[in-house]
Amino acid sequence: MSEQDANDKSEHTSATIYEVARRAGVGIATVSRALRGTGSVRPATRERILEAARELNFIPSRLGVSLAEGRHAANGIVFPSLTGPYFGEVLLGYEEAAAELKRSVIVVAADGLDSAQDHIRDLAGRVDGMVIYGSTAESEVVAELIAERKPTVLLSPRVLVDGPDVITAENTRSAGELAEHLLAHGHRTFTFLGGPTGGRDIDERWAALVDTLAKAGAAAPRPVPLSGYGRAEVYAAARAVLAQDPPDVLVCSHDEVALAALRVARELGLRVPDDIAVTGWDDVMAAEHSWPPLTTVRQPMRRMGEMAARALDELITGTRTGPLRQVLPTEVIIRESCAHHP
């Protein structure tokens, strides 16, 4: 052992199966069998091998294993961006489930990168399957992935495409429920402060709002698009809406927007909810701690990540055949920003 140690000092890379084999005085096949418990090995031999492996601090090269096994044992996930309080929760659920399924998680943030498509392609080469979150879905790369039958699941995609697995959160029912609650408070004029291009989620919420108001005989809501989610854009839009002729309710597409609106309202001297009600969507942490606490719709972010990991695993292992189309339930969270609740 001391003799070996002398050689160890300059080694930066782990021992190979060959060295273990030589040291244990056996062939590499036997080492492989002994270490991974496949095929039988005489106890004495096994002992020697384990010993040798331990002494050499042998860890099988992932590359070698993957190459031989023909799989990566890794999942990818593509986010449009990593900003905001969202994706963290999603990733959390995804990573947890993936770990449970013995798979590593490689993450890429596609936004802002000119080379985003290349990054996604690169990712594809490192994993057995991947999930694509949100707007990245239109990309031609995703089409490629699907075309070449790379296991792929779409998480909350902006447009619903046919073929790949899709996991989304419910919008219509909860938006309707939210609208009804607001109507019940006696609110009559609605403004919807929403996302830039819309996208499926926001479209669905908008549609449900329009629908519910129409059914109740209330005036149609006023749509106010957002030119972006940057701090400046959001504040400017909120200010524009609130500065003159504010509605009874400002329904926002996201909590971040609603929180900005809350601030603007305060700056303008508008009391929430007395002068104007405000609602968000997502139930991020700040929504609970804001003043007033924000009425919103909770999305099961963590669960979305988890479901995505499981769906992907089914795809990879071939456990399931038909495409998945899962809609996770959301929950309307009533707080003080929509009205005083005695």
Partner DNA sequence: TTGTAGGCGTTATCAG
Partner DNA sequence: CTGATAACGCCTACAA
List of residues contacting DNA (CB under 7 A): 13-14, 16-18, 25-30, 32-33, 35-36, 38-42, 44-46, 58-61, 63-65, 67-70
Considering only the stretches 157-165, 182-190, 205-213, 289-297, report the one whose residues sit in contact with its own copies under the rule CB under 8 A: 289-297
Sign of CA dihedral 172, 331, 138, 125: negative
125 is a contact residue toward its own copies (CB under 8 A): yes
196 is a contact residue toward its own copies (CB under 8 A): no
Question: C-beta of 145: minimal distance to DNA in Å?
Answer: 17
> Which member of 123, 213, 242, 333 binds its own copies (CB under 8 A)?
123
Considering only the stretches 187-195, 198-206, 288-296, 317-325, report the one whose residues sit in contact with its own copies under the rule CB under 8 A: 288-296
Question: C-beta of 68: minimal distance to DNA in Å?
Answer: 3
223 is a contact residue toward its own copies (CB under 8 A): no
Interface with its own copies (CB under 8 A), residue total 55
Q: Which of 294, 295, 284 lies closest to 174 in space, CA to CA?
A: 295
Torsion (CA) 277, 278, 283, 287 in degrees, nearest 10: -90
3-class DSSP string for 129-197: EEEEEHHHHHCHHHHHHHHCCCCEEEECCCCCCCCCEEEEECCHHHHHHHHHHHHHCCCCCEEEECCCC
Burial class (CB in 10 A: 0-12, 13-18, 19+), 117: middle
259 is a contact residue toward its own copies (CB under 8 A): yes
63 is a contact residue toward its own copies (CB under 8 A): yes
Q: Which does 82 bind (CB under 5 to 8 A by kind): DNA, its own copies, none?
A: its own copies
> Which member of 3, 5, 140, 148 binds its own copies (CB under 8 A)?
148
Closer CB to DNA, residue 68 or residue 147?
A: 68
Closer CB to DNA, residue 30 or residue 295?
A: 30
Evaluate whether 81 touches 87 at the Cβ level (below 8 Å): yes
Cβ partners under 8 Å of residue 5, min gap 6: none
139 is a contact residue toward its own copies (CB under 8 A): no
Rounded Cα gap, residues 205 and 330, in angstroms: 12
Compute CA 117 distance to the chain's CA centroid, rounded to the nearest angstrom: 18
Rounded Cα gap, residues 217 and 99, in angstroms: 51
92 is a contact residue toward its own copies (CB under 8 A): yes
Considering only the stretches 24-32, 188-196, 202-210, 280-288, report the one whose residues sit in contact with its own copies under the rule CB under 8 A: 280-288
Rounded Cα gap, residues 202 and 214, in angstroms: 18
Q: What do you get for the CA distance between the two ends of the chain, in Å? A: 77
59 is a contact residue toward its own copies (CB under 8 A): yes
Q: Which does 157 bind (CB under 5 to 8 A by kind): DNA, its own copies, none?
A: none
Q: Which does 45 bind (CB under 5 to 8 A by kind): DNA, its own copies, none?
A: DNA
Q: Which does 6 bind (CB under 5 to 8 A by kind): its own copies, DNA, none?
A: none
Evaluate whether 127 touches 108 at the Cβ level (below 8 Å): no
96 is a contact residue toward its own copies (CB under 8 A): yes
Q: Which does 123 bind (CB under 5 to 8 A by kind): its own copies, DNA, none?
A: its own copies
267 is a contact residue toward its own copies (CB under 8 A): no
Considering only the stretches 104-112, 157-165, 168-176, 312-320, report the one whose residues sit in contact with its own copies under the rule CB under 8 A: 104-112
Closer CB to DNA, residue 121 or residue 325?
A: 121
User: Based on C-alpha coordinates, what's the Rg of the chain?
Assistant: 27
Q: Which of 37, 19, 36 lies closest to 28 in space, CA to CA?
A: 19
Compute CA 267 distance to the chain's CA centroid, rounded to the nearest angstrom: 34
